[in-house]
Each structure stands twice: as structure tokens, then as C-alpha cells.
Structure 1
Amino acid sequence: MVETAAGGRSGLLVLVGPSSTGKTRACWEAVQILSDRGWRLWHPFDPSRAEAALASIQQVRPHTVVWLNEAQHYLGDTHHGETLAAALRALLTDQDRGPVLVLGTLWPEYEREYSALPQPGRPDPYGQVRELLTGRTVSVPDTFDQAALEAARLIADGGDTLLAAALQRAPDGRVAQDLAGAPELLRRYRSASAPARCLLHAAMDARRLGVGLHLPIDFLADAAADYFSDHEYDLLANDWVDQALDELTKPVHGHLAPLRRSNPRRTSRAPRTASSRTVTSTQAARYRLADYLEEHGRKRRSLYPPASFWQAAHDHITDIDDLERLGSAAFERHRLQWAYHLYALVPASRSLVMLALIRQIVGDLEEAERLLVRACAAGDQQALLSLAHLREEDNDQQGAEHLFRQAAAAGNDQALKELARLRLDAGDTDSATQFLTRAAKSGDVGALKQLAWLREKTGDKDGAESLLARRPATTPFLLMELARLRAEGGDQEGAERLLSEVVEAGRPYVLIQLAGIRLETGDPAAAERLLTAAADGGPPEATRMLAHFRQHFGHREEARQLLLQAAYAGSTHAMLELLDHYHGAGEQTKVDEFLADFSESSDPFTLIELAIFCQETGDLNAADSLLTQACASDDVYALLKASRLRLEAGNEELSEELLRRAADIGDWGDEVPDEFAAMWPFGLDADGTPTPPW
């Protein structure tokens, strides 16, 4: 239609589709070529859209785009709509005033209303509008098709992070609605009333900690209690939940709402029993948090939910997977008591090992062993391993080996490796080899690696290589390890032969290792060629190694330039070497320049290493500033490292504060940091205070 208008023929087109499907944007993109050709755009809107259009339509001249966005405000006007439709029809047929292009957008319900034929004997309120729109509408679907989605994914893969996030949130193809509705969702969240805001915070925390999509309203209501300030809580009305839901369920663009009533699909594969057919109103009252707000809520990762959240989860969450995920989230944040009580709601077949681990952490070894014995009796192989380790800690080596053998007999490869470890400790190499061989035959790469090392150390080099030949996918990495062992044992030729088998793959670290061997065997020219190849497009550490090589042979300025290149490419070791060099040479100006450059880094570990350097060289103010900057990232490992440094500097209070922040963020997995166990042996309460013995 735009091309036709550009060619000299007037036309009208109305895009019909649901809210926020891209109708207005499509029109706007389409008319850009007309702007380049001198066309004007007219958007009548004052004092009202229909009045403005009707008052000035006679003044429209050739090469004008008449912009009727949200055309219901023009054509559906009860006083002027029909007159305006007639005037538009006249404009389109008046050759002296053309070419003109009329573009509009309309929701489907209005299009159906305007196109409906009147009942006999009834008024025809949209006769002119119907004639105007006949044959001049295009339907805009509410989802992008697969071809468009594939094109969008290519753009997202090219670096468009906004589009990538929208595609992830809208796998059903409702990308335009997501992009249109997201800003309004965020505005509604930021301007929400206290009850609505607290419900949203409870929902955000539930989703980021593992609760499923469909959140029970009784859970959200109880969970929200401690999110209120005392003043806000005192002002709550009796029906505050209903008021908050009324506020949050009103849709924004694209029919999105901060919270919307959800109807989980049933996935039963068998007929329901009579007792399961009735759904109570409480069960049905579930709500889903808008995907965009869920994503935004993940920025709350450093905030640990209050006690009411955990009590509500314990009282209202019934899905076993949700309970397990919440228990894990509490455990990873060192809230051991809540983790224990949540896991206690999970069937024993899935919870006994974790319950035992928590009891073990808090020092109740007797109860931990009792729980593990129960799990072992139920056939849990992981329980066998955990109980065996517990027996080892109690110096019961015979009991531990008996349990490992039970697990191995059940087909557990980890148990076979544990038995090999025990046998090696006892000096029984033959039995260890047998256990590792059994594990390697079942495909355990770790066992294969241990077995190859063992054969290499006992002199069976051919046997070690033949083992690796069976698993070509893992060969490069294992061959590097064997090469290292041979080089350490004085077999430089054998080490070089192994590395030569994988050097064609261009792996930089293989090239570096091979260069080291060439250097030791008296071939510096070959070593330099290998290091240069490794540094060319490889990791910055390869460039640092090449700098050391050039330094070794007296090319100091070239070595310094290579170190600078490696440092600015991300090598922390190169950065620290240069700082040490400048400091040792008394070049404080260079030190200051270097610190200024790298203190802008967003990598918390780079900042921590700089802080350590400043601390060691006496610049305590700079060290303090760098540590503060490193901790702003909320990286849990950086917080732990910074906590240790603060403790070494004698600041116990700040050290504990950083440690608590790390605990609130969590994500430690099954290994509880030693600092947590030492500082808070029984865990933390929801508010971050140490939990008393329980």
C-alpha cells in the first residue's frame, strides 16, 4: 500500500489485531520511505481526535499520510464517526487531492462491531465506516510465526540482549506484547501500594528460590506479612489481599498483568479417584507472576526472604519438587533449621540423606547416622556412601569399606573409586587397579583417568596409552596429564610424543606444555614458534608465557610489551607481575597509572588482587576502596575472599557482615564454607542472626 501511494495512487489500510502486537510500529516503519520523498504526516488529535480530523480533513493536500492510530477514537465516535468516514471516502476518490495514504490501527472487537450488518428495522450506526473498511483491513496475528522467531533469534544471537530476554520470556511467540508491556509492568510494580508490593515481593522470592509457576494465594498472603514495615502493617485493612489482587490483576499492554489468575493444566495419565475429583476454592486460587517481573525480581538475589515466607512455605506448599527446591535454597543460605523442616515434609526416599547431612553439620552425629541407616535400608546408594564417609571420620575403616562394597555391588561407580582410594592408602595397588578397571569399563571418565595415572606411575606406559585410546573424546586432556607425568619422570621424548598427538588440534595449553619440553631439551627456536602460535588468538596466559620466554633470552622491552598485552587482555598474573616490577623499580607513577586503569574493572577478583597488592605495599586506603568496589558485585566467592582479608586486617565486624551477605546470596551447593560452620555452627535465622542450638 505504501509503494502504491508512492507511485501516485491514494489508499487506505487499517491493521487489525489485539493490543501490543506491533500494529503501530509496523505502520511507522512502513512510512519511513515516504518521509525521504517529501511526504508529510498528519495526526489529528485536538480537541478530540474525531473533531480534529473532521475539522481539517478538507485541508489535506497531496503527499500526506493521514495517521489514524487507534482508529476507534475516530470512526467509532458517536457524533462524528460516520461523517468522518464519509469524508475519508471522498478524500480517497478525489484525484486532485491525491495521492494520500490513510493508515489506521484497530482492535478486533471494534472491527467486528463496525463490520456487522444491522438487523432489519434497526438503525445502521456504522454504515459509512463499514463501507470505508471493506477490503481495506489486514489482520495482524498476536504471535510471530516460526520464520519470524528464527529471524529474531539470529538478531538476539548477534548481541541484542533485550530481544534475547523477550524471546526467553515469550516462547509462545508473543514477543511484541512482552516488549510493549514490560515498561508498564515495571512502572506498576514501582508505584504499587504497600499490600500489592509485598505480594509481588513474596511472589518474586518464591519464583527465584524454586517454587513453581502457579503460586497459591494463601501462601502469598501469609508469606507477605513480614515484608511490611510496622507502620504499613498497622494500616492494613481486613480485605487487604482482595484489594491488592484487584490492583495487580488489572492488565497492561498486551493483556499482561503483574499477577494473573492461573489455571494449571492437569497432567494425570490415569483416571482420578473419587477423592481427588473435587477441587476446593483454596486449591483453585493460584496466581502467576508476570515473566518480566519474575526476571526483574532476580535482582533481589542478595535479599533473604523474611521468616513469614518460610513459615508460609512450610504451611501451604504441597508440591514435593517445590519443597525440595526451597529446602535446598535454605540450606545453601545456611538457614539449616528451615532447610531441615522443609526437607522433613518430603518423602523419606528423597529426603533422608539431606536430613542426615544437616544433622551432621550441626553436630548431631548420632541422629545423622540413624537417618542414614534408614536410607540404606531403603536401598539409597548415596546414603551408603554418606554413611561410609561418616564411619571413616569415626576411624572405622573396616565399616566404611564394607559399606562402599555394598554400594559397588549395586553398580555405583563412585563407590568403586572410593574402594580404590582405600586400597591405595593401604598399599594394595592390585586391588585398587581392579576397582578402577571395573569403574572405567562402565564409562566413568574419572576412573579412566585415575587408572591411566596409576599404570603410568607403576611403569606400564603402554597400558596407560591403550586405556586412553578407548576413549578418544577424552584423549587430549588425559594425554596432557600423562605427558606431564613423563616429563617430571625425565622421559622428555615420551612426553613430547604424547603431546604431538594432540598438538594438531591447536589447543594453546598443549602448545605451551610442548614448548616447555622443547626448551628443556635444548631447542629454543622450536619452543618460541610453539609459544607464538599459542599466543596468536589464544588465552592471555599464553601471551604471558611468551613474555617470560622473551625475558629469559634478554628481550626485556618486548617482554614488557607482551606482559602489558596479556594484562589488558585479562591475565591477572600478568597484571600483578607488572605491578610488582614497577613497585620494585620505584616507578610509583607507573604503579598509580596501572592501578587507575585496572581499578575500573568489573571483575571482583581482579579488584581483590589489586587490593591485596595495595595492602602489602602499605596503601591501606586504596586497598579498602578496592575491596568495597569488589564486594559491590555480590559475587559470593568474592565476598568470602574479602571477608578473609577484612579479618586479617583486624576488622572482625565488617568481615562477619560480608560473610552474612555471602550466606544471604547462597549458591554454595552441598559444601558449607568452613567460615559458616565456624561462625554459625547451628545456622542462621531468617533475619541473619545466629540460630541457637536446636
Structure 2
Amino acid sequence: MNTGEHTTSGERVHDEQSAEGPALTELRRRLDARRARARLNQTQLAKQAGLGRTTVSQALSPRGDAPSVDTVAALAGALKLPVGELLELQRAAAEESGTTTGQEMGPGRPISRWEPHELEVHPAGPGDAASGPAMPAVRALPGYVPREHDRVLDNAVQDAAAGRSRILVLVGTSSTGKTRACWEAVQPLAAKGWRLWHPFDPTRAEAALEHLHNVGPRTVVWLNEAQHYLGDRAAGERIAAAVHRLLVDEERGPVLVLGTLWPEYVAKYTAPPTPGEQDPYSRVRELLAGRTLAVPDAFDAAALATATARAEGGDQLLADALSRARDGGRVAQDLAGAPELLNRYEQASPAARALLEVAMDARRLGVGLHLPQVFLTDAASDYLTDIDYDQLTDDWAERAYAELAKLVHGKQAPLRRTTPRPPRRPSAPTAGADTAAPSSAGPVFRLADYVEQHGRTTRKHLCPPASFWHAAHAHLTHPEEINNLTRAAEDRHRLQWAHHLCSRAANHGDAGALVSLAAMQERAGDRKGVEALYRQAADQGSTAALHRLAEMREEAGDREAAETLARQAADYGSTAALWRLAAMREKTGDHREAAEALYRQAADHGDTHALWRLAEMQEEAGDREAAETLARQAADHGDTAALWRLAAMREKTGDHREAAEALYRQAADHG
């Protein structure tokens, strides 16, 4: 009988193991085997992993459900087992049982499954000679040298690990080690089972906008080169809002958002808005406030000492970089190939150097990342001296592109041919130049980041020659790129080219170009067809065109049409149209009531300047109570100077000192 009972029990255990599936069986076997080798009972293991005794018992028992991602990560950390491998078993076990776990929820994959170069960490050494299409190159990374910014970054990671969502954007010039710093910082989270999501397909902005709302807890959101997300003209503000919502949503936390930016982009996004003009980065500015971290261009003395010690310990990549960059401390740039890139530019053949300078000028003046070969080639002629131009051979362009395609240290080329990702959906009409399709058919090229930045610095005061503008007019078709070049031509007093470029953008249906073209014709005194251009732009949703049409109708004496157009502009967000129309009525002297009505319409649309003007008008009419009420409304809407100005008006009368003092106090209370 005893033998029979033993056989029945063994069969029951075997059945339970078979039912749970091979992945779950293997997961439990590895956990329990390591527990036994560590001579820990389940209570001791639970304490060491920070878990409950019951949780550990169920995780190891064949009668329990598959353990969760958090449980597996905690047990793996306590037992010093490879977290990534155990999470793969956990995922397979979940698939076997048909259950959904937190690991499947949300975009991304475990940090341990990412390779740093997939996340755009600059490669710094040669790949495996045996690599090929079926076997990607194994790229070495030099030893990491912590610097002062790493301490702040580590604090953010610790906060996230402790359950508090954080965002930090590293700011520095090209190839200073921003992305590598982020990669090193998240490694402690890998041991805790965190995942990482790098949105990039079909474009960075589209991926972020589509999936940010799906991001789950314990996720690193990787926004490297954050200008492609936050600076996107169509989606940047919505992405910033979605990131902010993710950070404050306790049910989806903790999360860690890491990004990188060049200083010029930070300056652009955080600059205070100009009064009366659009504020394209209001949400981005709010998101970045207090959340940026500067990464210096050069290693300081302490970092150089650490790098030297590691080089002496056998790190050949660091040793090579220090042999070239020790004096200036620009070790990170050297590792990424920056000095060699500059050498290639400075030592290039005349034709290759001309192509690089065309690309530098194009990028700094607003052409997108993908530069058409036909544009570069056509623009290069005037960058050459007469002697160099006369010595060009028939195959000069082919030879120059081949020269620039040769890789430098760091697996980079000064100017490389690239293939933009194919569109997977219709692109938005207002998509940014950097995310749009190439400007023309044919091969496109991309300028190396460090060479681009070098050009922005060294060529910022130079005006491109005529061949540049001619090639842009002949070959570029993207309206935003052409508009950028139109403004650049105007700024450099190339007015004929500005007119031709603007006409080209207008012919492609760009509303902004139509407005600019109409304004150019007005300034030149040629009013023929101007109103038709403004109407065409207005039909495409341009508030600036509606605003100008309202002014033109007012000047022509058609006040009813002027007011209708101004109100349309206000409905689309341009309260300045109502303000200007009211000011024009007020100047006539006998239309005070009409002007006041228009100011009130502007105020109803949120224009604080209109509220202040109404307050002035009431004060001038002797209705001080109404004036004070309107000034206080303006202050409540952000115009804190309104109460101050009203107080000054009272003070000037001489007999209203107490009233003025009371208003000054109210202004102080408003900050």
C-alpha cells in the first residue's frame, strides 16, 4: 500500500509539472536551484528580495501561478541570476498559459535586451571582421569615465527606482557623451527588470505621439535627439503634453524619461515668446523648465585622471583618444570621430570641400536632414575658385562623393548617402522638414552631425553664393525648406532670390509663402493681385492673411467686411486682428463705441491688451470703478502691469493718492 501511495504522489507531481509548461518549469528550477546553493530557505529569500513569504512560495511551487515580472526581477536580483534570461522565461511561461503580464503591457523591451548602439551611442572602435548582413558587427565601447553630470543623472535614476517618475534632458554639443551617459545611468534599472522604449518608427515624432499613452510602469522612455520629438512642427507640443501627462499619472509610474539636445535647440525652445506673436513651444518650454542637465564639451582634470588610469589598465580605445585629445580634454568627441571628421573637411579636395560647404549652408539655413544629390552638385560650382573650377573633370562629382563616403574613426563619414524610411501612412501637411520625404527624387545625403555643427559656428556670418540659391530654387520642393531659405535670403539682402523662392513655395500651395509673397509685392508698391494672394492664403487657413485683408477692407472704407474678416481671424486665434481694427476705428474719433465693441470682442477672445485699453477708455471717461474692474481682469489674465499703469494714471491727477496706493498694493499682490 505504501508503495502504491508513493507512486500516485509521484505521478501527481509529474502531472503538475507537465501542465505548467517547460518554460515555467525551467524558470522555477533555476530559481530553486540557486536558492538551494545559496542555502536560503524561502523566508530568508523573501526577506532578501523584499517580497512576501507567500509570494516566494507561490513563485517556486508547481501549484502556483506563473510569477509576475516584478517577482522574477526581484528574485533574480537577490539570487544574482541573469535578469534578462529569467524575464525571457517568464514571458514564455505567460505565453504558454495564455495570460497577460505587465511585461507585455506597453511599448519597449527589457533594458538587458538592448545593445547600446541600437540606442545611438556613438561607436568608437572597429567591428568584428567576420560581421556581415547576417551577423552585425560587434562594436567595442571604451571604458566609461563618470563626470559631474553623472551624479545628477544617477540621482534621477535612483528616484525612479524608488517609485518617483522623473525626466532629465542632457544638453551639450555634438559627440560630448550625452547618449552614453544615459545608457550607463539606466544599467541599475536593468537589474530591476525595467524596460526601455525608443520610439522611432515610422518617424520618431509619429511613434512617440501614437504610443506614449501606452507606456507602462518601470519604463525608460528614450528620447535621444529630442528635437525630432519636441521640435516637430506638427506634433511637438502634443508630444510634450503627453510626456507631462505620463509623468504625473501615478497609475502609470514610475517612469524615467531621458532625452538629449544641442544647446541651440534648448535656447530655441525655452526662449520667452514675443508679445503679439505665436508661441510654438509653450508646452515644450514648460516641460524642459528645471529638467535640463548640461554636459560639458571637455573632460575636466578629474575625468582625465580617471581616463588615464583606465587607459593604463588596458583600455586601448581610451589610450588612443587620450593620445590625441588630452590637451583640450575633448575625449568624447575624439572617440566619436569628430577630430578626424574635421580633418577630412579641412584636407578635402576642392570639389569635396565645396560639397561639404553647400551641405553646411543648407542645414544652417533650414534645409532638412536629407539633402538631394542633384541640389548639392548643382550648388557647388560657385564654392570653387576659378582655377579649381577649370580643373574639374567630367566625373568630378562621382569622385568627390566617393571621397566623402569613406569612413573615419568612429564609423562616420563627412557626407554619406542615406535612405529615408519609407512612409507607412500619409504624412501630415505641416510635417517638419526633418521628418518629411526628400525634397526631390534621386539619391539623398546626410551631413555628419559634428561637421554640421562646425559649419553652424564657422560659417554663420557667410552668405552662400548665387549657385546655392539657384540650385535651391531649381531642385528643392518642400515648402517649409523653401520658406526657411526665403527668410534667409531676405536677411542677407538677396531680395530677388527671396522673391523667386517665395513664389516657388506659393506655387506648391504653402499658405505662409502666399502671405510673404503678397507682403513683398506690397512693399515693392505693386498692389496688383495682392488681395487675391491674401484671399488664397486665407482660404488655406492663414490668420495673418485674414488679418491683413481686414486692414485692407478698413482702409478701403468697407468696415462691415473688415469686421467680419477680423472676427474670422480672431476665431482662428489671432486676436491682434480685432485689436488693430479697434485701434483704427478709435483713430477716426467718431467711432468710439464701435472701437470699444471691438476691444470687448478681442477681450472675450483672451486678449489682455484689449482689456487694458478698455480700462484706459473707462478711466478717460471718468468711470473709475469700471476701469479698475477691467484692469483687475487684465491682471488676473496675466497682465500684472495693468494695475500698475492704472495706479500711475490715478497718481498723476494729484488728488487720488490713496486710490493709487491701493492699486499699487493690488499690483503687488498679483506678483
TM-score range, shorter chain: 0.3 to 0.5
Larger relative helix fraction: 1
Question: What's the TM-score once normalised by structure 2's chain length?
Answer: 0.48
Question: What's the TM-score once normalised by structure 1's chain length?
Answer: 0.46
